[in-house]
Amino acid sequence: MSCDVAVVGAGAIGLLSAYYLSLSGRRVVVVERGEPGREASWAGGGIVSPLYPWRYQPAVTALAHWSQDFYPVLGERLRQETGVDPEVEVTGLYWLNLEDEAEALDWARRNVRPLASVSVAEVRQRVPVLGPGYERAVFMAGVANVRNPRLVRSLREALLRMPNVTLVSESPVTGFLRQGERVVGVQTAREAIHAESVVVCAGAWSGELLQTLGLAVPVRPVKGQMLLYRQPVGYLTSMVLAKGRYAIPRRDGHILIGSTLEHAEFDKTPTAKALASLQASAAELLPALAEQAPVAHWAGLRPGSPDGVPFIGPVPELPGLWLNCGHYRNGLVLAPASCQLLTDLLTERTPIIDPAPYAPGARLAAG
């Protein structure tokens, strides 16, 4: 099999990269080790914002702002194309009892973002199911959440309708095809796929895969566990976050509680310890949840990176090889901007933002 671009990985980053590349006219083959969209992209919460955006580097902020502004457009486009609604819901987000509230408000002023202090009385008026003990709050209007399992399903459906895209599932990449220093494709468990360009979007598996090329990219798995509850529609009207834990309302009444942060290599087994910890957080945020058992408990693997800044762009020492990986906790948040930037660079168009902070060459050399 041959193509213009082989995309390794079919999570949100891989699927959306393929989507944009196919719109540019490229013939794309997407290769996935398992089932498309069933790893971190399925397991996460889908808040369209970093949990604490003021604590990140400007490089993350630039991608996040572009993506946040574009997500409603993307959601509606995919709904119209596929009939699968990703459910991009604008609910706003309350941060409760922030220790660095002053820094958050200063960041918002500098970045012109709608984050402001609000009274706890106002929060309780809008979120009457909130637990006691909260004394301070800040609110950012316009923050959305996307129903990530539906997002990856809609992306998959969109790609299946594109004549210049082939989606290959249950086919792990076992190595790369080379002509001298140039990467000219990938070898899968089934066949060789020849390509002018290879884009690695393999999430938590990216670092391990790139080691086969002698490339040390610091992307490693970081486990996260989540709970899902069911409440009546409208029970929770806004996202709330305290002590690093959040509650996210879905359109149909489901409530997500997350998440843990664990270094456990590639182990995705849900644990009793995490279950107890997340249930305690759920009861603290929303006391009514203490009276019921969660309807689901799962774990996923984030593509951890040292500073949360993804690697996006070509690898100079290995022509033909491109990266779009290492998004850590913000893959869904940053996906639209990351994938548009990757497409702009690969197709030699003017990039949407300055690509320098994400360029693999200088960063890997420095590392």
Question: The domain 2-45+150-219+306-366 belongs to what CATH superfamily?
Answer: FAD/NAD(P)-binding domain (3.50.50.60)
d(CA 95, CA 82) in angstroms, rounded, equals 35
Q: Which two tokens stand for residue 54?
A: 């003021």
Write out the DSSP string of 113-150.
Answer: --EEEE-HHHHHHH-TTPPS----EEEETT-EE--HHH
Q: Which CATH class is domain 93-141+220-304?
A: alpha beta
Q: How many CB atoms lie within 10 A of CB 268?
A: 17
What's 321's DSSP letter?
Answer: E
Domain residue spans of the chain: 2-45+150-219+306-366, 93-141+220-304
Give the DSSP letter of residue 5. Answer: E
Q: Say what the pLDDT of residue 362 is.
A: 85
SS3 content of the chain, % helix, strand, coil (to 5): 35, 25, 35
Nearest-CA neighbor of 74 among 339, 367, 292?
A: 339
Q: What is the C-alpha separation between 119 and 135, in angstroms, rounded? A: 8
H or E element: which one contains 225?
Answer: strand 220-230
Tokens 């080790």 locate to 33
Q: Give the other-Cβ count within 10 Å of 262's Cβ.
A: 18
* Residue-level pLDDT at 367: 61
Q: Is residue 145 a contact partner of residue 89, using CB atoms and an 8 Å limit?
A: yes
Q: Could you tell me how far CA 63 lies from the centroid of its own chain?
A: 12
pLDDT in tens, 151-200: 999 999 999 999 999 999 999 999 999 999 999 999 998 899 999 999 99
C-alpha to C-alpha distances, 10 to 54, 64, 85, 94, 120, nearest whole angstrom: 30, 21, 19, 32, 42
Exposed (0-12), middle (13-18) or buried (19+): which is 207, by Cβ within 10 Å? buried
User: What is the rounded CA–CA span in Å between residue 236 and residue 230?
Assistant: 11
Strand partners of residue 229 = 255
Question: Could you give the angle at the alpha carbon of 126 between the alpha carbons of 125 and 129, nearest 5°?
Answer: 85
What integer pLDDT is reported at residue 249 of this predicted model? 98
Query: What tokens appear for 13 in the block?
Result: 């980053």
Alpha helix stretches (DSSP H) within the chain: 12-23, 40-43, 58-82, 101-111, 120-126, 148-160, 206-210, 272-285, 331-346, 360-366
30: nearest Cα among 190, 271, 149, 200: 200
> Can you tell me the distance from the alpha carbon of 65 to that of 107, in angstroms, rounded to the nearest whole number?
13
The pLDDT value recorded for residue 274 is: 98
- What does the pLDDT read at residue 124? 97
User: Which one, of 207, 203, 205, 204, lies nearest residue 218 by Cα?
Assistant: 207
Which residues of the chain are under the pLDDT cut of 70? 366-367
Q: The whole model's pTM is what?
A: 0.97
- CA 4 to chain CA mean position, Å: 25
